[in-house]
Structure 1
């Protein structure tokens, strides 16, 4: 923690962050101190509530992000101050302006006139003695500039035109380095600029998927991220040309007038007219281009941040999806020519048996496949069948459904579930999978992964790079470093919110626990394999390389079932065990009788157990944990019931009511798996009988929802759905046809036979609507 008074720059940082995260400065100072000491966000959010005043993980993530930016800003501020000071040009007013800059852009605007640069036209003009000409024109507006220029002709400046052009170059540079002017113009552009896209002649066929942007124009400030990313990609692929500029008839004259106003050119004297011409020249040749670049950068950053936020929300929902639980599971990775890969795992995820079935062309061994499924189910007591949603998914599901009807009497039919297999092939071919299953064929590893991700989505999905899981929008267009950092934070928060079984978890899962990382996680697994299961959390300190600091960070998130210390099965941190034991002692009952009892603690008051170290927030958490030890925050497992007879898009008709599972959520709506080869789109306007600004207000990935078909486009493989209750009875559609299909590109949500299992999985179902999303103005 900070023991000395913070520097002025730190005070500025703390004040700014406090406003950004809606907290007080003392809270920010405390949190920054903990993070600087090496504490992790999950640990601070869960176990240092007294210190931070209860900042949650979302606030702490934003705090950490802003802290990095603002510290970089302060470092740059110091560099600029030193540079100008070394030039002998630092004044009190300039120092004040630099100190007052609140963004990197504003800081660089101030620094422009002092920034070392290559030799410019303005420098040459000054060397040729033309700066006095500019000052003369500015001072004397009555005399024609052409007449004044006669006095500045030399061997290097031989004509009046050359003299006036030199004066113009000096003034243009001064204007383009005027921080106040640049700030005003940038704000003007943010409010008034339009983003326009025009088709490059001859690119109609190659760029057909961008057809809705062949002649597109909308306000820069209002364009949603998915449309901005689509235009940026179209421009990158040279399908369209893109422009960011104010309206030519109204906006451009206003921009030029703003520039002219800085020179007080309201008069009609020859000097005023010349200065206004320079203002026009400066806008068209210099500032419009530089501001285009600035706004393009801001647009890209804004679109990236929104896309990353969507990806992060979807990933969190997927990671925290309901686990089916510790039950024997048959995983099926569908395929046609290469066969259906099958793997049975027991309740702990251990592989019991694998096989390959050939129920489809060319072998068509339906009976043999049915017999094998029955054999696997009966011998291993299979309770769940997980079917990957790729090629032949529905055909495989139908095969399983028919087969389960043939089970001998007395054998309970397992529940069949279609699960996303996005990223399964990435995992199968990974070094981790090779280490885990060295003797198992790559294709069979995918079936194991599919089975395990039904049992516990979180434990299995952490083995796959988040970018391969397939819940992003334009994920390969965004800043990959920023995306990676954001997604790693989501995974870390999800894992620590649920907690990890120390004696069952894989190294990849343990690596996401606060304070560990892959190296320590691998050391824990090695120690466990060598010495057997951990009997207590304190035994972690015997692991090579795991010291007190790492133990402090990770211990509370690790669980030990049936160990020597009952509290090790809870999220109570070992540092607070004494408090927990005082609570238990006050009940006068055995700890095992109390843990899990919702009534045992009702006669006690949390405030009676507060100490100098542990305040009321920690004590309340202990009470809650003793009542529900090791509680899982994830929802209860349930599956969608697909409608019989609906297996292909051709089986769908407008007005049909169906049940499905939300597979992805974007800014413009949600994709729903309704049991055919294509996910349908519920546009944001169709999510509820009220205005919905953010689809996440209504649905999240993994939700089971009831939908109604509004439109079916078989040639383009697109399905429009609605969740609205109100119906246009004549057509079975939502009012005013607001459930219309997306038409933003021809990269359709597409048949699931596309197998979105590679690193571009995020542009599978979701990629369709990003380019195909409805062009609807609310």
Structure 2
């Protein structure tokens, strides 16, 4: 369920609970009931219920009501000529002993009535919407002390840097209608860390317009209002605005800004995660994974083409490299044929990169042509101590498990990254500040979408991967894996029906996302129990449990099981193959693909659908499935990793040099990119051109940047498109800038860090 769907369900449930509560309190009228159930947002529900909320016992208005002053307050509004407040004075009663105390109590009740009035709140909201309401942040006094008395502001050294991080928001002010979502989240974090003090600033014109409207229109009593009562009403309106309405508006605005910003952060995280999970896999190669580190050294793990762990080692990359470390790395690389090295991007990444670069440049790995790639290692350390990692690698040191995970992330990003809680993958914006439940639900949906989109090989996938297939729960995924381990590999999709608990509905939902690869499928053990008789149409009916038939499911492989064609469409696909005049066993061959292409050149898709007796959409899926190779992976044409053989430094860069960069993160305020200089830099949003399109459609974590000359402020690690910089800024920037690539829609796979001159 997506964020929008969850919000709708929440509002509906809140409205129903509100109706039940008002019915118990006997405050519900038919019109109010219909209005509450028709609400589409939480704010609408709160707005309708506000007049019926019971004021707290310790509020000023409730204390005045307990003294019996509410009739006097109502009389001021309804019968001002017939009310004498002096009559309510009782010297023996605390709170009514003097006329001044009576007036104060009546004023508090009036302020409460005004603040709970529906028309009044609608008017003040309209005023705020049409006025320049702003949000302001200033440096706290505690943060100011930190500058002069270092160490007293924070207990930890890491916290001492918080002040400088939020320098942009010292004396910061923005209109609430134009402020960016990332600015709201930054201010909230600064406020949480006690670096910033944040408040909503409502202009005085709003108060003046509100006072005039209340006294001259909404709360103007009938007839002539005596001067003392006019003063009392005016003071009550002002008190209501200052003490009740204005703080409420500020809280509502802050809440609205925060919710919108959190929702934006969740959507952004989901978009980045989707693109990262769909990164192109690197199959068929042994990979050496390197988890960099200073104190505890660099952990190495060699994994085979299918991800199996081959060996581990520990080295200490230094300048110059030590002979024993060089020999250890060379031995692993040559012995296991690791022509690709995956280096984690954590602590000591740059030093480790220089170590391997020097080995490559010195031809240590000859005859292998070795290259390396920087891999996002976020969450690897958390995974290394998780129950899943302990189950997969029980005899491997947790530190070495991180290196294994880094290597596997390069081989198959989707299969490895889903083992980690998605919030620990650093491809978002303030993801640790948003509600954990909403983030978890959104990211779970993204992971399931990606897994179903790519498909899984039922004979090689793990339980962690399988449970994300649409229609399968964790328990069902465990049953499928257990069945595979007990009875041998699945030979075709139909054998899924033999698994206990996997009914017809679940089968139809998940079968299209499950592939059966003959390379991983072996001869299946004989099943010693009855399975579904698929030839009996009665057993295909949904929603009713049927007794299993006597016949067993055929063990013969079905080439269609390697495509994304759903079993429901197999009969149509078979009919289409006969119509083409090709053999069933030729599915996936160049001959079949060529035959389909030539047929589409002569026939429209709709005419083919009519001849096959199906819909255009189903025919499109069948045609697409038959046009692909059997081992087709839709991720192959998506973002590719960037491989390098040498490392760069700031000092190595020359004016107007062209480079290739890798996106490490995409946010609402810009993108972070890595060009192999040791640290990612930021390209601010304003220099990305049509940034909404670029960030949403082109730029994604792991994606490559085409080589177009850019400039960068070296001291701030901020990169710019040179031709987008204002002429007035170029003279200043040119003193400190170096070039940087700009993204292109054309996909790029680089084997070096520099492009053509």
Whole-angstrom CA distance in 2 between matches of 1:79 and 1:738 = 61
Structure 1 residue 435 corresponds to structure 2 residue 391: yes
**Structure 2 counterpart of 1:296:** 254
2:370 to 400, 414, 429: 414
Whole-angstrom CA distance in 1 between matches of 2:226 and 2:614 = 77
**Structure 2 counterpart of 1:773:** none
1:252 to 201, 207, 215: 207
SS at match of 2:560: helix
Whole-angstrom CA distance in 2 between matches of 1:737 and 1:402 = 31
Choose 561-570 or 252-261, whichever is displaced more.
252-261
Instruction: Call closer, same or farther: CA 1:406–1:736 in 2, change over 3 Å.
Output: closer
Instruction: Call closer, same or farther: CA 1:474–1:265 in 2, change over 3 Å.
Output: farther
Whole-angstrom CA distance in 1 between matches of 2:727 and 2:642 = 26
SS at match of 2:343: strand
**Structure 2 counterpart of 1:113:** 51
* Native 8 Å contact 1:374 1:404 kept in 2: no
**Structure 1 counterpart of 2:136:** 196
2:719 to 718, 721, 729: 721
* Native 8 Å contact 1:686 1:738 kept in 2: no
1:314 to 253, 258, 272: 272
Structure 1 residue 627 corresponds to structure 2 residue 563: no
Gap runs ≥5 in structure 2 = 147-152, 154-162, 522-556, 739-757
**Structure 2 counterpart of 1:355:** 313
**Structure 1 counterpart of 2:552:** none
TM-score normalised according to structure 1 size: 0.79
Gap runs ≥5 in structure 1 = 1-60, 741-778
Whole-angstrom CA distance in 1 between matches of 2:106 and 2:595 = 87
**Structure 2 counterpart of 1:600:** 595
**Structure 2 counterpart of 1:646:** 648
Whole-angstrom CA distance in 2 between matches of 1:191 and 1:738 = 44
Q: How does 1:232-271 map to 2 (within 5 A)?
A: 232-247=188-203, 249-260=204-215, 261-264=217-220, 270=227, 271=229
Whole-angstrom CA distance in 2 between matches of 1:443 and 1:633 = 33
Whole-angstrom CA distance in 2 between matches of 1:97 and 1:737 = 64
What do you get for the CA RMSD once the two structures are aligned?
Answer: 3.3
**Structure 2 counterpart of 1:582:** 575
**Structure 2 counterpart of 1:686:** 687
Q: How does 1:176-575 map to 2 (within 5 A)?
A: 176-192=115-131, 193-204=133-144, 205=146, 206=153, 207-247=163-203, 249-260=204-215, 261-264=217-220, 270=227, 271-360=229-318, 366-405=322-361, 411-562=367-518, 564-575=557-568
Instruction: Call closer, same or farther: CA 1:86–1:459 in 2, change over 3 Å.
Output: closer
Whole-angstrom CA distance in 2 between matches of 1:136 and 1:392 = 76
Instruction: Call closer, same or farther: CA 1:345–1:79 in 2, change over 3 Å.
Output: closer
**Structure 2 counterpart of 1:130:** 69
Q: For each residue in 1:443-478, what CA deviation from the matched residue of structure 2 results, as whole angstroms up to 9, or x when unmatched?
A: 211111111111111111111111111112212211
**Structure 2 counterpart of 1:664:** 665
SS at match of 1:252: helix
Instruction: Call closer, same or farther: CA 1:228–1:613 in 2, change over 3 Å.
Output: farther
**Structure 2 counterpart of 1:54:** none
**Structure 1 counterpart of 2:618:** 618
How far apart are residue 85 of structure 1 and its match? 3.8
Q: For each residue in 1:322-363, what CA deviation from the matched residue of structure 2 results, as whole angstroms up to 9, or x when unmatched?
A: 2222311111222334232222211111112222223427xx
SS at match of 2:219: coil
Whole-angstrom CA distance in 1 between matches of 2:225 and 2:53 = 36
Instruction: Call closer, same or farther: CA 1:663–1:733 in 2, change over 3 Å.
Output: farther
Instruction: Call closer, same or farther: CA 1:98–1:336 in 2, change over 3 Å.
Output: closer
Whole-angstrom CA distance in 2 between matches of 1:677 and 1:535 = 48
**Structure 2 counterpart of 1:36:** none
Q: For each residue in 1:357-413, what CA deviation from the matched residue of structure 2 results, as whole angstroms up to 9, or x when unmatched?
A: 23427xx76333333333323322223221222233233333323333555898341
Whole-angstrom CA distance in 2 between matches of 1:739 and 1:256 = 56
* Native 8 Å contact 1:655 1:733 kept in 2: no
How far apart are residue 568 of structure 1 and its match? 0.7
1:153 to 89, 92, 116: 89
Choose 498-507 or 379-388, whichever is displaced more.
379-388
* Native 8 Å contact 1:235 1:242 kept in 2: yes
* Native 8 Å contact 2:664 2:702 kept in 1: yes
SS at match of 1:203: helix
* Native 8 Å contact 2:662 2:702 kept in 1: yes
Of structures 1 and 2, the one with the larger relative CO (CA 8 A, separation 6+) is 1
Bigger radius of gyration, 1 or 2? 2
Instruction: Call closer, same or farther: CA 1:459–1:624 in 2, change over 3 Å.
Output: same
Whole-angstrom CA distance in 2 between matches of 1:529 and 1:417 = 35
How far apart are residue 208 of structure 1 and its match? 3.3
**Structure 1 counterpart of 2:540:** none
* Native 8 Å contact 2:137 2:173 kept in 1: yes
SS at match of 2:634: coil
* Native 8 Å contact 1:265 1:275 kept in 2: no
* Native 8 Å contact 1:685 1:692 kept in 2: no
Instruction: Call closer, same or farther: CA 1:264–1:582 in 2, change over 3 Å.
Output: farther
* Native 8 Å contact 1:191 1:221 kept in 2: no
How far apart are residue 107 of structure 1 and its match? 1.6
Q: For each residue in 1:641-660, what CA deviation from the matched residue of structure 2 results, as whole angstroms up to 9, or x when unmatched?
A: 6696623x455577554221
Instruction: Call closer, same or farther: CA 1:351–1:85 in 2, change over 3 Å.
Output: closer
Whole-angstrom CA distance in 1 between matches of 2:728 and 2:322 = 44
Whole-angstrom CA distance in 1 between matches of 2:349 and 2:5 = 47
Q: Number of aligned residue pairs: give it.
A: 668
Whole-angstrom CA distance in 1 between matches of 2:420 and 2:643 = 28
Structure 1 residue 84 corresponds to structure 2 residue 42: no
* Native 8 Å contact 1:331 1:451 kept in 2: yes
1:167 to 97, 106, 111: 106
SS at match of 2:198: strand
SS at match of 1:250: helix
SS at match of 1:600: helix
**Structure 1 counterpart of 2:754:** none
Instruction: Call closer, same or farther: CA 1:191–1:229 in 2, change over 3 Å.
Output: farther
How far apart are residue 508 of structure 1 and its match? 1.2
* Native 8 Å contact 2:647 2:677 kept in 1: no
* Native 8 Å contact 1:711 1:720 kept in 2: yes
